[in-house]
Amino acid sequence: MVQKRIIRIGIGIIVGIAIMIFRLIQIQLYDTKSFSHRNIDLIAESVKQRSQQVVIDNGRGKFYDRNMVPLTHEAIPTLVLFPFLNHMEWDVEELAKIINVPSSDILHSLEDAEGPVMFGEPNPIVLTQEQMNAINQLEIPGVFAVEKHFDRKITPAAQLIGVLGENPEELKKRYPDKDIPVSTMIGISGLQKSFDEFLLQEESTKLIYHVDGRGAPLFGIDVKYVTQSNPFYPVKIQTTIDYDIQTKAEELVDKHNIKIGGLILLDIETNSILASVSRPAIDITDPYANNGIKNMMHTAHIPGSVFKTVIAAASIDHQLISPERMFNCSVTIHGEVDQQYDHGMLNFKDSFAASCNNTFATLAMELTEKDETIIETYAQLLGLNEINGWQGDIYHFEDFKQLSDEEKGYVYLDDVERKDSKLNAQTGIGQQSVRITPLAATNMMATIARGGEKKMVRAVESIQYNNGTDLYTFPIKKLEGDHISSYTASKLQQLLREVVTNERGTGKSLNNLPYTVAGKSGTAETHRKDENGNELLNRWFVGYFPYEKPKYAMTVVNLDVTEGEGWATPLYKDMVKFLYEMDQ
């Protein structure tokens, strides 16, 4: 009996030891980088416990504007002090002289420090190059002048650039064959997501020293400078954004109190985004709050009268208009007396300038009687119901898209709408099911300004190695498919200019600006109401300038505003003035 009990106890001990040995093998050999359900990197955590460090650069690729001004970070030359200075004699007076502060301030910053400190935190001191050189020439252990990369508190063009986050499941899904720490930040939206594989965090650059359990130096007071083993990384993404224009655009959007909507500006020659502002703004602590992560410039909205440009192009080509033809612009699209507008009988040119609904409802019905797909065809010719952002094959990426979150516009939801003349009347004035993005609307204006030539929109100009040489340059590319003729484009140019110069024009407040503007306004009914029962509207102005020698195409859109407020033209006017002054 006793013998059996001893055997059972012995077996239990052996099993227990075997379990412990298996667990040790699991920890030491197999799960060192993804231990437990939380995927803890045991090696990294062990190093953290035995070291104190200052990360100078996290190792992820960075975004820059077209002139290589940093967009996602600021490189600040600052002073780093290590806490072991508290336990040694060093020339604090000489350091104080270089940075022009009392030595007591320096010593005070080290009191009770458990790790390295940046002098002056939370607003670290900014050093000159001369100060940096002088500090490092002192060769005091634990005293370093370094250029540290700080994330910007507010990223310009935040929705276009996108946000980062930790997502171990998505990380594994995207990169199943890569051995990457589960804590690696990845792009969740915008260009951060599109270019994630190029930007993936490599080895960080840091100052590091090892400590014992009490925080004392383990191997003396030598501080190591650890940097990338590959001099070509991290890469730099050179966007097409202009930092100065972007900053002003954001300032003006907020000045004009745009809560939902924004502004997008293209360089017509290169078809590149110079500025992109989307509201609501992102709350970096909760990017999904209030839809802040969503880029409203890449989202399809009801365009209203902006869409009349499509009907105008089709009507020109199919000879539905002549100088003599008149339209009754004192009635609604249903033939009832218009209680809001009483323009009387107008020709086509004046109808476009005044944005007469009855004219374009009539033309839309006549066009679809000829061909029920004709409106969709002309929307396609002007790029409104296709992807406008740059796409193509680069390296092993097939059909790489710069703007991965761009929505495609559309005209109809089903065949019933195509065949119904009354619904087509609504379609002709940019209502019913019509949806377009501000990006596509801006590109339509650029296309017309160029005489009908469609191009893809670029947000990124190049990917550069860390040493400044090009890894890949994104060429200017044409949008595939047919486009409007140069004749049709020239006629549309004249009509768009009439919107601003005609006494009936809906954009006449933009006349007499230093840059001559051509464009089209739009006020769309959303068939939704606010909490007070007021109808919500989308207000647009899309256009290009200067008219004689087009340089910029721009869209301003103010969404979910009520009657009598939220006009797009005041912001448009201020941006045109700013760009003119900047160009001088």
Q: Is residue 438 helix, strand or coil?
A: helix
- Mean pLDDT value across the chain: 89
Task: Write the CB contacts of 418 (distance below 8 Å, at least 6 apart in sequence).
Answer: 368, 372, 373, 412, 424
Q: How confident is the model at residue 306 (pLDDT cuts 50, 70, 90)?
A: very high
125-161 per-position pLDDT tens digit: 999 999 999 999 998 888 889 888 888 888 999 999 9
Distance CA 556, CA 452 (A): 22
Q: Which two tokens stand for residue 280?
A: 């609501």
* Mean pLDDT along residues 498-506: 97
Sequence-ordered alpha helix ranges (H) in 34-164: 42-49, 92-99, 103-110, 129-138, 158-161
Under a CB-based contact definition with an 8 Å cutoff, are residues 345 and 365 in contact?
Answer: no
Percent of the chain with pLDDT over 90: 69
Contact 141, 223 (CB under 8 A): yes
Contact, 130 vs 106, CB < 8 A? no
Mind listing the pLDDT tens digit for each residue in 407-417? 999 999 999 99
Any idea what DSSP says for residue 222? P
Confidence check: pLDDT of 569 > 70: yes
Tokens 């967009």 sit on residue: 71
Mean pLDDT of 193-215: 75
> Looking at this protein, which amino acid is placed at residue 12?
G
Residues 54-64 have a mean pLDDT of 85
How many Cβ atoms are within 10 Å of 551's Cβ, its own excluded? 15
Model pLDDT for residues 238-254, shown as the tens digit of each residue = 999 999 999 999 999 99
Residue ranges of domains in the chain, CATH in brackets: 52-86+100-239 (3.90.1310), 243-583 (3.40.710.10)
More confident residue, 451 or 215: 451
The SS3 assignment for 374 reads: helix
As a whole number, mean pLDDT of residues 66-78 equals 92
Distance of alpha carbon 310 from alpha carbon 375, whole angstroms? 7
Q: What is the pLDDT of residue 214?
A: 52
The CA-CA-CA angle for residues 279, 284, 286, to 5°, reads 90
Least confident of 18-22, 457-461, 520-524, 558-562: 18-22
pLDDT band at 22 (very low <50, low <70, confident <90, very high): low
Residues annotated as catalytic (active site), given as ranges: 305
- pTM, 2 dp: 0.86
As a whole number of angstroms, the distance between CA 224 and CA 91 comes to 21
Closest residue by Cα to residue 515 from 488, 487, 552, 482: 552
Contacts for 349 with CB less than 8 Å, ≥ 6 apart: 323, 494, 495, 498, 502
Cβ within 8 Å of residue 384, ≥6 positions away: 307, 310, 409, 436, 440, 441, 444
CA 139 – CA 34 distance, rounded (Å) = 40
